[in-house]
Amino acid sequence: MQFQLSEEQRAVQEAARDFANRELLPDIIERDRKMQVPLDQLKTMGELGFLGMMVSPDHGGGGMDTLSYVMALEEISKIDASTAVIMSVNNSLVCWGLEHFGNDDQKERYLSKLATGQWIGAFCLSEPEAGSDATSQRTTAIRQGENYILSGTKNWITNGSTSSIHIVIAQTDRDKGHKGINAFLVEADRQGVEIGPKEDKLGIRSSDTHSIIYNNVKVPLSSRIGDDGFGFTFAMKTLAGGRIGIAAQALGIAAGAYELAVAYANEREAFGKPIIKHQAIAFKLAEMATEIDAARQLVYHAARLKDAGKNYDMAGSMAKLYASDVAMKHTVEAVQIHGGYGYVKEYHVERLMRDAKITQIYEGTSEIQRLVIARSILKGHLQDPVFIK
């Protein structure tokens, strides 16, 4: 098994850490309060290559491996989980899906714009009545000659108002079940695309989440991804990688809270000594360090499997399930270690605690991750170990 990180991977990690501290940290409390998308910072991230990290250089991307990508996401998430989800959706769901399953013409039209951050993308699967049960799509795409007519509502769409292109999953033929589902590339300025109001969320408040309504939007056949009926498989394959990204986001949130807790515990004195010297606090930190490191191993392992061309569905779900629980548990502990200071915005840990919750929900709830893992076990994946030898 490979333990060493390459010089390039370390450099990417360093660059992401530096960018997050320099560009994302200064206004973060204000952006969170005002639900403000970091538009200027996203532009810089595009220029630095953080929005199309795994995309081939032929299409304007960084041509990096998944491990470099998750390490960068971890660093961004330590500081700003809102920016991290924008980055994750653009890289994992939009760019990756388009590069792997789009045709040459579709890649030519959109990929370099997305990889360089000139455009941001959105992935539109969830609906008011189809969240976990993703095959129950109500949005329809009815074929009319050389076009499809798209009608329906998508919910909880990350990058809802900032995206220029949507990947929309819709039902073309209900009788065929999941085999009647297709995925389409839909420009946000197409006639009939309506962006609903912004959601006022508990966490990740400076990422914009909207419903999007498609009112008889005409989409050319050339915008369909893959063969007729490929849409559900496309969504599942793309989400399997997306889940590694969200696992990295959860890991970063937990690690960010831990770093703040260690610094505070060294500085804050009670009963005549720094609180880190009190066993009650030291033991909390010991548990945090252990579980965060375990989460990191799962996240990096899933990324390495993907890079090695092995199946990573189960490993990605395990990483997301565990890292999101660790993020939730230990951001609560970080607030506790900070005492009253942890409850106010200035100390950052309350925001990380609010941000952590969504990692147990989006890109498949923790219950869905258990389902994916359990189904993999039923298929015999335990007998066929996922570890790289």
Q: Footprint of ligand CAA on this chain (CB under 6 A)?
A: 85, 89, 123, 125-126, 132, 134-135, 158, 178, 232-233, 236-237, 239-240, 313, 362-364, 368, 371-372
CB atoms within 10 A of CB 318: 23
Question: CA–CA separation, 82 vs 77, rounded Å?
Answer: 8
Q: In whole angstroms, give the CA distance from residue 291 to residue 297.
A: 10
Closest CA to 191 of 147, 158, 159: 147
The two structure tokens encoding residue 311: 């199946």
Going by DSSP bridges, is the β-strand pair 121-124/165-171 parallel, antiparallel, or unpaired? parallel
Q: What is the CA radius of gyration of the chain?
A: 21
Q: Name the residue nearer to ligand CAA (CB basis): 158 or 360.
A: 158
CA distance 16 to 108: 28
Catalytic residues: 363
> 3-state DSSP call for residue 227?
coil
Per DSSP, 90 falls in state: I
Residue identified by tokens 């899906």 is: 97
Nearer to ligand CAA, 9 or 88 (CB): 88
- Count CB neighbours of 343 within 10 A: 13
* Min separation Cβ 281 and ligand CAA, Å: 34
- Dist CA 2 CA 304 (whole Å): 9
Task: Extract the runs of DSSP E, i.e. beta strands, from the chain.
Answer: 121-124, 140-144, 147-158, 165-171, 181-187, 193-198, 209-220, 269-270, 273-274
3-state class of 258 per DSSP?
helix
- Encoded tokens for 101: 């399953």
